[in-house]
Structure 1
Amino acid sequence: MHINTHTYYSLRYGTLSPEELAQQAASKGVRVMVLTDINNSSGLFDFIKACRDQGITALAGIEFRQDHRLLYIGIARNNHGYMELNHFLSKHNLSCTKLPRKAPAFNHAYIIYPFGNIQPKELTENELVGIQPLQLRKLISSSFRYQQHKLVVWQPATFANETGFNLHRHLRAIDKNILLSQLTTEDTANSTDTLVSPEKIKQNYAQFPEIIKNTEELLKQCSFNFDFTAIRNKKTFTGSIYDDKKLLEKLTLDGMIYRYGKNNPLAKERVQKELHIINSLGFAAYFLITWDIIRYSMSRSFYHVGRGSGANSVVAYCLKITDVDPIKLNLYFERFLNPKRSTPPDFDIDYSWKEREEVLDYIFKRYGTQHTALLGAMSTFKGKSIIRELGKVYGLPKEEIDQMIDYPESSQDDQLKQKIHNIGGLMTDFPNLRTIHAGGILISEKPITCYTALDLPPKGFPTTQWDMYVAEDIGFEKLDILSQRGIGHIKDCTRIVLQNKGIDIDIHQVEKFMEDKQVQKQLQDAETNGCFYIESPAMRGLLKKLKCSNYLTLVAASSIIRPGVARSGMMREYIQRFNNPHNIPYLHPVMKEQLEETYGVMVYQEDVLKVCHHFAGLDLADADVLRRAMSGKYRSKKEFQRIVDKFFSNCKQKGYPDKITHEVWRQIESFAGYSFSKAHSASYAVESFQSLYLKAHYPLEFMVAVINNFGGFYHTWVYVNEARRQGACIHQPCVNNSFYTTSITQKDIYIGFIHIQNLESKFAKRIETERQQSGDYKTLDDFMKRTGAGRENMVILIRTGALRFTNKGKSELLWEMHLLLSPQKKNHLHQRLFELPRKNYTLPQLARSKVEDAYDEIELIGFPITLSYFDLLETNFRGGLKATELIKHTGKRVRMIGQLVCIKYVRTVRQQMMHFATFIDMDGNFYDTTHFPSSLQAYPFKGYGMYLILGRITEEFGFASIEVEKMAKMPIIPDPRGR
């Protein structure tokens, strides 16, 4: 008779997982129970599964609260009632309006009001009042004394015992952001809000049998039926399954001719096989919906990259969902979709960060807001955040909280701090906030509110209250509509090339790019600064070590750079075997048979499946569950452990030595969680080649595109340096030449106004708009009148050199600007009918140096343009060698001067800190350094700037770096103005 139970999805209130709630209920003999989490339906489907495991009838409901105050409890009479409750909550969430004090009329749901909040005459037929055992004594003097047919048993359940109540109190204090001692009884549940056996409930209400009867009748009239095996996505694209099948076939065959020509028997065979599986499993609409999204985005000239396991599909390739050729790469479709796969697949589609919102807007408008939603996610309490929250609850100062986090062992003798650690252990992994999945979107056959209430996060699109795991459990296959700046680089570059050189590039001619000799050389030389996914120091080093010049090697490199391969030690092993492919020591003949392409090293997710299937004898379904579990995409710990046990027992039966079995498992375990599918790596490699082609042939336009997208591994100044290295003439911002973003004409690159710190964006855009409408600015006075510039913006522009067209010095311009903006001469943003002549003032010549200009640029733009940091060095020494000469002097000690680009922080096996760093020399070329703990402790980094480095040149497979012995930060010429 529990009509009001909570799980920990009642955020910062409930203390029980759905599984724990069901187990507790079963132990008490409860046979039917309603889940009513506060203002959400996040946990319902986990709750249903857990109750079925315990033989309990699970019912659906929602507890509605406003500003922490309980208004009423909704209980669904059936699935329609659940939808009504979700729709009601969603309406208020999406419109950002408060819940009403009185519930609306529901056709298929009951409303339970708390005793004391409503009078009998206000109740409708489907509305009742819940009364708790402690409230029964008030019934005699209540207006409900003679209206007991409207009363039901109200025994809320929020925690299991006293420990749970204590945890609940801490959660409430965190939620309200107050000290634990400041909690009032109104802030928390009653200490008696636990699950109670049916016998105990009947005993508590023994004097009021009508209330017990009412409750039993209510529960009998409620049901919630759910089939977890059904597919929830939109079932058809055309309105007919048959028409979907025919349309998908036509589109695919048309695309096959585009991709493979008219006479490719292998492609025809593969297409027919895939179409048969797609149609038999009911996924034709899913493919067509994805195609429709791609069709729309291409009609808008949006670039996209289709990646993930969907790139295993030739059908997807023919539909232009991906640009990866599965036949060329020998990718098997079964990794994406197969008759044994128990979970639905998904497509990952990347768009430019500038265009993703428009694509989402199209999807919502095309398929309707009632049937479309972004996928939610759960942020949980973890590690340091728990200690920080609980420390605040006890009023500890920040310094003590930091001490607890950094040195947890020091807290063991402190009773309060030990208590915090104990409470923190109880709430670890509890849901804390509902957030948004990175890119997931659902398109449902039925209204989304059949399955969930909806939130409205800052993105502005309706979002489910449960996450990808629940979506998968209940039969949704999501689409991942993601954004990345790499696509923005590519699109903007092609636009700039068309404007600057009149060349229209077809960026989808990837096969041509892969065969381009200039592109191949650039890849082999690791000239990849700005190129998607392959520009980091680690990736540049890997490319050189693999002498990478082709697509297949780049595909492998895109995967082995991932943390899993590196952590298992197999990235280094792969490099060694790649460079010495003879006499490779395979762990077992099966490993050679399955992994010969990758020299016996697991590089892709598919390799995990191969090894588990062929080495350990797991079927592909179990192998895929294992792979998914290790990557965090499968939640059943029980099922996972069953497969792990099966892995080891199968290996035992096959007679493998334990040493080999455990080594294979170690590689799987350390690798699988961070690995890419081969198709995913191939998709990344395709985009990398697009970037490489543009950089190889249009390096200046490409770097401008990278700068304007504010994306990449490095800071903006690194890309400006790269443009200069490639032959560009870099100019300071100029009101007559610059635009809001950085621009290029031939080899002249003008830094955009957007890069000037503290310059008002509206004003910056006005400069560009006014110049385009009325021509170049003639004088300082002309500029100020036409733009309505104020004092602060003018000072910034003058100091950055943006008004140098006047041929006046900065000091003179500042004097003139102040005179023009004097209180008697207010500046107005409009044209005057008659212009009065200005008085001319003669000012003395005021000396100014380039060093001062450089410091202005550093302060206002972030890096110098007039001079480089090398020009600002107090010493004339520029290093014993250039970066390009290091490889010729392996083993020698060298002194180098370098500007620090970035640092990678790493801990050794002894948990000591070491660094890998990247510098540029005076020619703008990268070189890399290694700082072992002993050197780092004696000669630590002291922020960004210029460094003198003494070290020995080392080389590994053609990649040179410097093992640092000593290092010192170099002084630069100070600002003459004494700033």
Structure 2
Amino acid sequence: MRNGLPKGKDQSEPPHLYRQQKNDQELLEKLALSGMEYRYGKSNKEALRRVKHELKVIHELDFCAYFLITWDIIRYSSSQGYYHVGRGSGANSIVAYCLKITDVDPIELNLYFERFLNAQRTSPPDFDIDYSWDQREDVQDYIFKRYGSQHTALLGTMSTFKDRSIIREIGKVMGLPKAEIDGFTDPTRAAINRNNDAFRKITAIYERMANMPNQRSIHAGGVLITEEPITYYTALDRPPKGMATVQWDMYEAEKIGFDKYDILSQRGIGHIKMAVQLVEDNQQRKIDIHQVKGFMKDPAVNANLRIGNTKGCFYIESPAMIQLNRKLECDSYLVLVAASSIIRPGVASSGMMGEYIKRHHNPNDVKYLHPVMEEQLKETYGVMVYQEDVIKICIHYAGMDGTDADILRRGMSGKWRSDHEMNRIKDSFFNGSLKLERPKEISAEVWRQVSSFAGYSFSKAHSASFAVESYQSLYLKTYFPREFMVAVLNNYGGFYDRALYVQELQRSGGVVHLPCVNNSDSLVNIHGVDVHLGFVGIHGLNETYIEMIPEERRQNGPYQNLEDFVKRTGIGLEQAITLIRVGALRFTGKSKKELLWAIHLLLGAKAKPSSSAELFCVEAKNYSLPVLINTSLENAYHELELLGFPLSMTMFDLLQTDYRGEVGANDLINHVGQLVRMVGQYVCEKTVITKNNQKMWFGNFLDVEGNGFDTVHFPNNTPLYPFRGAGCYLILGKVVAEFGFASLEVLKFAKLPILPNPVIS
């Protein structure tokens, strides 16, 4: 049986790790109790009670094999030295914690198992297991080999036509230019679009296309493992990835009763994995990155969290998250768990983010909406922060049953969401509140907070998992900042452009060098404090040479001169010019212009064989070149073109003006209410649509010292003073502060001109 239903055509038999349910049950109990001793010691009665309770539920619902197969996957990946993060609602399970599937302690965070698995649950649970982006495929390969190709397949998925995709596809068929199609999806142009003939034609067939299948694809990481051959249930595809894929999605899998294993990947784990290895190689120090509880209590780590020194760190590096943590003065794991959830749009849009920060700083002044709110949400000062909070309030305030609470949870996470369903739950909430004689006005406010979560809330276990990884990243950045930033650069996928991470590397004491054929590798490398940028970051350099140049050097020693380099690599003229212009051949002691002259003589179309002089017995002549001046400004322009940022000069050095503003970022808090002028280097921007359908922007900049500051651009000013891409800006604005965090409300805003390229001018 599974979920109380007899096995039949619509119910799959769960795979048993050792083919018999009894054996699976005994093994799971043995592993869980052994893991409990590892996690909690021998005498933790609460842990023992919870482990035994969970094991009973897992056995009754026939999910022993699901836990064991997940444990088996973790056991394999750990044996290969792979690092993983178990996240999602599975972190509510103490059995999962004891099996090392997750690193989140459910007792410490007061997480309840029923959020993950309970007798009323109508679908199989699923663990989300994240690996480094370059290790996931090997884990998937293990699963297919371990459980057999007849019993294993990737989940499919089906994208449908929705909203913007409908407009775009119809617009393409009509032959409309991209700019016009983009205008049709811009909410600020809604009134103008209504009078557009082309837009009216699109809307005429919009409803017919809505939710129709668009294209089949592969689920982000879902793997199915079945007892019977999987072809009993579906035909299989073998897409370019090469692994068998079923022809339906996760919802159909749930209806049949299949257990899904989410084997996912992310760049954040790649940062951590590589940083640990770099520290071992560069400093001969081994780090046990799983000792997270120690990281959480480290004063230096928490100090960096509080001041927002978190660039490069998983989930806590964005300007919004840095700003939130600074407002909260976040310096503990539990506060970070809450911050990871209140940053989500659901809490922010309800207005409860600001309320949470205020209550966090003044907990004794909190006035709860109702005694139930205090009883259930005292930890979060009466604010609904997590999915679990919403469920608790619906049950305890409105008397809703567990089934409706589970439907509400799935609605909030984007699964099975429909207006009809939400309306039915709303009626259930208000009817239940009425029966319990709750005040109508309070019920209305409680429901407003509940409904604002729809589609955006986080489970507490999910936030806790993210916070664990954030602490691991931040520990590495705090104590090994150079190795950590090199790892961030080499794994890409961060929030910011590479230029900012290079600046962070320099601020941490790293001496960053341009690529060099005798010192660089394909990726960025570090030796002591010296960091050489890699060939992979050079725009226009062929992949063949990215790998071959350092490999040839390792095999046969350093390159001796330009001729030796050309001979050993067989490089062509164009690629050689790219390396010369980026400074990668400076080991020769010659200037770029001398090298460019020489490479054209060696490889140019009119170059003659060196043996011609011998053929005619003509004595070779030595020509002396005129002095060829190479300026730092020329070099900076070469770097801008080939690396995307200048290394030998800063963007401030390139400005035509020496003016650097009246105040610096760290001094803003002392000028609240004043108009100030600042000069800032553009980092990033974020566009939002206001309730009045107008656009406004949030910007992030660095001052000349490399310290960050934030700007707000309201709709009345942004059309007059738009962002114009990378560079430095002169900014006039009013300094405002909220919870001790200062930012700039922009009044005027202009990009500053830089010195002209001397070659072009």
* TM-score where L is the length of structure 1: 0.74
The aligned counterpart of 1:483 is 265
Equivalent residue in structure 2 for 1:663, among 430, 436, 445: 445
SS of corresponding position for 1:365: helix
Q: 1 CA distance for matches of 2:51 and 2:624?
A: 81
Equivalent residue in structure 2 for 1:568, among 326, 350, 372: 350
Equivalent residue in structure 2 for 1:584, among 366, 375, 388: 366
- Whether contact under 8 Å (1:454, 1:465) holds in the other structure is yes
Mapping of residues 834-849 of structure 1, within 5 Å: 841-849=623-631
Greater Rg, structure 1 or structure 2? Answer: 1
Equivalent residue in structure 1 for 2:240, among 449, 453, 458: 458
Shift of 1:300: 0.9
Amino acid at match of 2:537: H
Deviations 1:379-432 (A, max 9, x none): 111123223333444556667655655556667677886454232212211111
Q: Which has the higher contact order (CA 8 A, sep 6+)?
A: 2
Which blocks of at least 5 consecutive residues in structure 2 are unaligned? 611-618
Deviations 1:919-958 (A, max 9, x none): 0111211111111222323322222211011222222112
The aligned counterpart of 2:103 is 323
Shift of 1:585: 2.5
Bigger Cα displacement from structure 2, 305-314 vs 426-435: 426-435
- Whether contact under 8 Å (1:230, 1:474) holds in the other structure is yes
Amino acid at match of 2:66: Y
**Does 2:27 correspond to 1:247?**
yes
Q: 2 CA distance for matches of 1:857 and 1:901?
A: 18
**Does 2:512 correspond to 1:730?**
yes
- Whether contact under 8 Å (2:390, 2:450) holds in the other structure is yes
The aligned counterpart of 2:58 is 278
The aligned counterpart of 2:460 is 678
Which blocks of at least 5 consecutive residues in structure 1 are unaligned? 1-224, 829-836
The aligned counterpart of 1:974 is 756
The aligned counterpart of 1:129 is none
Q: 1:465 to 1:409 in 2, by over 3 A?
A: farther
Equivalent residue in structure 1 for 2:170, among 387, 390, 404: 390
Q: 2 CA distance for matches of 1:449 and 1:624?
A: 32
The aligned counterpart of 1:816 is 598
The aligned counterpart of 1:236 is 16
Deviations 1:199-221 (A, max 9, x none): xxxxxxxxxxxxxxxxxxxxxxx
Q: 1:233 to 1:738 in 2, by over 3 A?
A: farther
Equivalent residue in structure 1 for 2:666, among 873, 877, 884: 884
SS of corresponding position for 1:370: coil
Q: 1:344 to 1:966 in 2, by over 3 A?
A: same
Deviations 1:102-144 (A, max 9, x none): xxxxxxxxxxxxxxxxxxxxxxxxxxxxxxxxxxxxxxxxxxx
Deviations 1:712-753 (A, max 9, x none): 110111100111111111111011111100111111111110
**Does 2:160 correspond to 1:380?**
yes
Mapping of residues 544-555 of structure 1, within 5 Å: 544-555=326-337
Shift of 1:284: 0.6
Identity of aligned residues (%): 59
Q: 1:384 to 1:816 in 2, by over 3 A?
A: same
SS of corresponding position for 1:973: coil
Deviations 1:769-798 (A, max 9, x none): 011111111101111111111111100000
Q: 2 CA distance for matches of 1:512 and 1:621?
A: 39
The aligned counterpart of 1:62 is none
**Does 2:361 correspond to 1:361?**
no
The aligned counterpart of 2:694 is 912
Q: 1:548 to 1:424 in 2, by over 3 A?
A: same
SS of corresponding position for 1:936: coil
- Whether contact under 8 Å (1:869, 1:946) holds in the other structure is yes
Q: 1 CA distance for matches of 2:350 and 2:320?
A: 16
Q: 1 CA distance for matches of 2:349 and 2:48?
A: 41
The aligned counterpart of 2:122 is 342
Q: 2 CA distance for matches of 1:413 and 1:728?
A: 58
Q: 1:249 to 1:230 in 2, by over 3 A?
A: farther
Equivalent residue in structure 1 for 2:299, among 494, 517, 524: 517
Q: 1:583 to 1:501 in 2, by over 3 A?
A: same
Q: 1:954 to 1:638 in 2, by over 3 A?
A: closer
Q: 1:519 to 1:757 in 2, by over 3 A?
A: same
Q: 2 CA distance for matches of 1:642 and 1:666?
A: 15
Q: 1:823 to 1:447 in 2, by over 3 A?
A: same
Q: 1 CA distance for matches of 2:148 and 2:247?
A: 19
SS of corresponding position for 2:673: coil
Mapping of residues 72-91 of structure 1, within 5 Å: none
SS of corresponding position for 2:108: helix
Deviations 1:222-247 (A, max 9, x none): xxx99679653643101211111111
- Whether contact under 8 Å (1:228, 1:473) holds in the other structure is no
SS of corresponding position for 1:582: helix
- Whether contact under 8 Å (2:412, 2:457) holds in the other structure is no
Q: 2 CA distance for matches of 1:378 and 1:358?
A: 25
The aligned counterpart of 1:796 is 578
Aligned pairs, number: 747
Q: 1 CA distance for matches of 2:742 and 2:621?
A: 64
- Whether contact under 8 Å (1:469, 1:633) holds in the other structure is no
Amino acid at match of 2:126: D
Q: 1:916 to 1:758 in 2, by over 3 A?
A: same
Q: 2 CA distance for matches of 1:635 and 1:928?
A: 36
Q: 2 CA distance for matches of 1:540 and 1:414?
A: 43
The aligned counterpart of 1:717 is 499
SS of corresponding position for 1:585: coil
The aligned counterpart of 1:256 is 36
The aligned counterpart of 1:16 is none
Q: 2 CA distance for matches of 1:490 and 1:325?
A: 21
Shift of 1:559: 0.6
Equivalent residue in structure 1 for 2:213, among 431, 437, 444: 431
Q: 2 CA distance for matches of 1:404 and 1:511?
A: 51
Equivalent residue in structure 1 for 2:400, among 618, 622, 629: 618
- Whether contact under 8 Å (1:245, 1:279) holds in the other structure is yes
Q: 2 CA distance for matches of 1:780 and 1:838?
A: 19
Q: 2 CA distance for matches of 1:525 and 1:408?
A: 42
Equivalent residue in structure 1 for 2:383, among 586, 601, 622: 601
**Does 2:707 correspond to 1:925?**
yes
- Whether contact under 8 Å (1:457, 1:463) holds in the other structure is yes
Bigger Cα displacement from structure 2, 573-582 vs 483-492: 573-582
**Does 2:85 correspond to 1:305?**
yes
- Whether contact under 8 Å (2:85, 2:130) holds in the other structure is yes
The aligned counterpart of 2:613 is none
Bigger Cα displacement from structure 2, 577-586 vs 787-796: 577-586
- Whether contact under 8 Å (2:267, 2:493) holds in the other structure is yes
Deviations 1:494-518 (A, max 9, x none): 0110111000111000011111111
Q: 1:841 to 1:453 in 2, by over 3 A?
A: farther
Q: 2 CA distance for matches of 1:395 and 1:537?
A: 39
SS of corresponding position for 2:719: helix
- Whether contact under 8 Å (2:600, 2:607) holds in the other structure is no
Q: 1:761 to 1:599 in 2, by over 3 A?
A: same
Q: 1 CA distance for matches of 2:58 and 2:521?
A: 50
Mapping of residues 718-797 of structure 1, within 5 Å: 718-797=500-579
**Does 2:410 correspond to 1:628?**
yes
SS of corresponding position for 2:475: helix
Q: 2 CA distance for matches of 1:261 and 1:350?
A: 27
Q: 1:400 to 1:898 in 2, by over 3 A?
A: closer
**Does 2:435 correspond to 1:653?**
yes
